[in-house]
Amino acid sequence: MSYKCQVCGKVTATNLGMRGHLVRSRFLFEEHWKWLKSHGLSPTRKIAAGKYQPLMELIEKECKI
């Protein structure tokens, strides 16, 4: 199963790869964070604190191809 970024189109083989891409991406950095915020995630608080469950659910829902 693959996962496709809804912002830039990057494809990863795993949901963990997509999580890393969304959190650490330098390419279109602000656009990736705006996309996360538009889905109710606060990257600076929850994700930075290691609370990845909401992010993983979003990836499964929006990025799975």
How far is residue 13's CA from residue 48's CA, in Å, rounded to a whole number? 23
In the DSSP assignment, the letter for residue 15 is H
How far is residue 3's CA from residue 5's CA, in Å, rounded to a whole number? 7
Domain boundaries, position 40? 3-62
Task: Report the pLDDT value the prediction gives residue 14, as an integer from 0 to 100.
Answer: 96
Task: Report the pLDDT value the prediction gives residue 52, as an integer from 0 to 100.
Answer: 79
Number of domains in the chain: 1
- 10-residue stretch averages of pLDDT, the chain, 65 residues long: 95 94 85 91 66 87 95
Cα end-to-end span (Å), the chain: 7
pLDDT in tens, 45-62: 656 566 778 889 999 999
Task: Report the pLDDT value the prediction gives residue 17, as an integer from 0 to 100.
Answer: 94
